[in-house]
Amino acid sequence: MMILEADRLSITFGGVRALDGVSIAIESGQVFSIIGPNGSGKTTLFNLVSGIYTPNDGSIRFAGEMVTGLPPDQLARRGLSRTFQNLQIFSRMSVLENAMVGRHRHERTGILADLLHLPSVARQNKATREAAHDTLARVGLADAGKRPAGSLAYGALKRLEIARALASDPKLLLLDEPAAGCNPVETQEIDYVIRSIVEDGITIVLVEHDMRLVMNISDRVHVLANGRTLTEGTPEQVRSNTAVIQAYLGVHGSKEAVRAFD
Amino acid sequence: MPAIVVAVIVIILPLLFPSAYYYRIGVLVFIFALAVVGLNLLMGFAGQVSLGHAGFLGIGAYSVAIGPIHFGAPSWLCLFAGAILSGALAFLVGRPILRLKGHNLAVATLGLGLLVAIVLTNEAGWTGGPDGMSVPGLVLFDWSVRGAYIWYWIAGTTFVGGFVLALNLMGSPTGRALQAIHDSEIGALVLGIDVARKKLTIFIISAMYASVAGSYLALFNGYITPDAAGFLRSIELVAMVVLGGMGSIVGSLVGAAVLVVLPQALTIFHEYEQALLGLIVMVFMIFLRQGIVPSIVAAFAGRRK
């Protein structure tokens, strides 16, 4: 079953066509990676799919339902969750509370019940807290629950954001450069977390520069260049595609391409 | 826990009161603290500024004046009607206003407050104009409620009630959503939080807190002028929130207490009263940057380590 189908998406910012007729189709249970040189439109594609931008052209189906133009919160309530390249942590809240907010789409809220702290609210809070704690444990933050989120180190914040998105039990998880800006140790920790999520069978769309990770865990790799689809295929197919190598060599330097080869 | 502490403070405080005058100050502290708790929910938790909250205070105040005098309605009913009216106004203007952020939101709410104050000043036939109007006393079941002593218990109880509701809200999914919105609206959105609706909800609740406080103020004083809805009153409420501590419900009580009691204590300095008040508030903010209560809590937490 296709969980996400984006058909010929285009968007223009001030005359610049940031994305031009890009189509992707993601099967349930897959790890689908989007790669491409800087400025090729990866994050733009994420922002379109998660409802932050509305496409000028094209359509998006999520879980069989037409969702083009729906705002992010409605998509999230349907089970589409994402992380951000530049963190969007609730820094004044505790680590545990951050993960609890992730449970929001599963919580029933009524303003009167919340004001009066009815027994149903207390019961639900307990369930939310436990579920949030379990997700923190999955990313290695179980002991940090009470700390203010703002006090965590950068790599831990990256993992917290993944945990928060995971806490919502998404049908589809979009990870936008989860290891960007991390040192080698932090990158390894995040790789480990991503692999464990993959093992659980959650459908993931991944934007990542770490080619070793991408080639290792992806079922499909979609390559963007200058806002257009360059190619799509299995990691092996993409690895040996000359157009891909050229795109990277031309724009991004040789380093990335060399890593793609090993 | 904090609720019990505050309730105990309300009960014990009168033991230290040498005269009825102190009860009067106590009533004013609780009334303002109630409005400040509401404003703190909006500002300190959800991160949305309002520079026009006295407008809702004014609506609550004039409801218990106009209702009984012009329509013969009982005061307690007018208090509820005022709260509903304030909530309805917040609902109507909230959608367009709360899309704005930062300074723009501040100026828009400022406009809302001014609008209410001007209507109250100009509709002299209903409100008595700039001179204000007298407010019939509260009568409950043929019992005429008057005097600082009884009002102390009414205002104190209501404040504790409002305090508990606010604490409950913050420990609920709605409260967590609001705090999330404060830190990152986009982060809240992608977790399924309907940001616009949550902001509107808290704006309405916040307006109703102010309205009830305004009704109490009018009933207690027995007289009301458009100043109750004026810009200075709005600023005073914001100052109480910030001084006590943004996002600290206990801080709301402390902020209100400081800014109600200090001017009384400073009257011995006559014409320098206002200047000294300003100076003291400045010093507080310089040394207790997060507000009185959060700064003290942080200091104690630091020492324990």
Q: How far apart are CA B303 and CA A75, in angstroms?
A: 46
A130 shares its domain with A7: no
The CATH number linked to A260 is 3.40.50.300
Whether residues B176 and A73 touch (CB distance < 8 A) is answered with no
The answer to the question of residue A85 being in a domain is no
The answer to the question of residue A17 being in a domain is yes
Instruction: Calculate what percentage of chain A has a pLDDT beyond 70.
Output: 95
Radius of gyration of chain B (CA): 19
A69 shares its domain with A198: yes
**What is the pLDDT at residue B304?**
63
Whether residues A84 and B186 touch (CB distance < 8 A) is answered with yes
pLDDT band at A25 (very low <50, low <70, confident <90, very high): very high
A116 shares its domain with A141: yes
**What is the pLDDT at residue B36?**
97
Interval B239-267 mean pLDDT? 92
The answer to the question of residue A134 being in a domain is yes
DSSP single-letter state for residue B133: E
Interval B129-146 mean pLDDT? 82
A126 shares its domain with A213: no
Domain that holds residue A127: 92-168
Phi and psi angles of residue A59, each rounded to the nearest 5 degrees, phi first: -140, 155
A184 shares its domain with A249: yes
Percent of residues in chain B assigned helix, strand, coil, to nearest 5: 80, 5, 15
pLDDT band at A259 (very low <50, low <70, confident <90, very high): low
Nearest to B183 among A81, A91, A117 (CB): A91
**What is the pLDDT at residue B274?**
82
- Residue A262, pLDDT > 60, answer no
DSSP single-letter state for residue A148: B
What residue in B sits closest to A117 (Cα-Cα)? B168
Identify the weakest region by mean pLDDT among A60-64, B53-57, B212-216, B283-287. B283-287
Q: Which helix (H) or strand (E) holds B116?
A: helix B102-122
A69 shares its domain with A175: yes
The answer to the question of residue A87 being in a domain is no
The answer to the question of residue A6 being in a domain is yes
A15 shares its domain with A43: yes
Distance set, CA A15 to CA A12, A18, A19, A91, A230 (Å): 6, 9, 12, 36, 22
Whether residues B183 and A101 touch (CB distance < 8 A) is answered with no
Residue A62 C-beta-side C-alpha neighbours within 13 Å: 23
Number of domains comprising chain A = 2
**What is the pLDDT at residue A253?**
55
Domain that holds residue B92: 2-304
- Residue A256, pLDDT > 70, answer no
Whether residues A73 and B179 touch (CB distance < 8 A) is answered with no
A189 shares its domain with A214: yes
pLDDT band at A261 (very low <50, low <70, confident <90, very high): low
pLDDT in tens, A58-86: 999 999 999 999 999 999 999 999 999 98
Neighboring chain A residues of B87 at a CB cutoff of 8 Å:
none
SS3 B64: helix
Q: Which of A52, A80, A92 to mutate to test the interface with B (most CBs of B within 10 A)?
A: A92
pLDDT band at B282 (very low <50, low <70, confident <90, very high): confident
Distance set, CA A59 to CA A72, A206, B189, B286 (Å): 15, 20, 21, 54
A210 shares its domain with A158: no
**Contact assessment for residue A91 and residue A152, using Cβ atoms and an 8 Å cutoff:** no
A233 shares its domain with A185: yes
A21 shares its domain with A35: yes
Amino acid at A54: T
Q: Which of A168, A197, A223 is the last residue before a domain boundary?
A: A168
Whether residues A90 and B186 touch (CB distance < 8 A) is answered with no
Neighboring chain A residues of B171 at a CB cutoff of 8 Å:
117, 125
Whether residues A111 and B201 touch (CB distance < 8 A) is answered with yes
- Residue A154, pLDDT > 90, answer yes
Nearest to B183 among A93, A102, A109 (CB): A93
pLDDT in tens, B167-224: 999 999 999 999 999 999 999 999 999 999 999 999 999 999 999 999 999 999 999 9
A202 shares its domain with A141: no
Q: How far apart are CA A88 and CA A160, in angstroms?
A: 10
Number of domains comprising chain B = 1
DSSP A162-190: HHHHHTT--SEEEEESTTTT--HHHHHHH
The CATH number linked to B70 is 1.10.3470
- Residue A257, pLDDT > 60, answer no
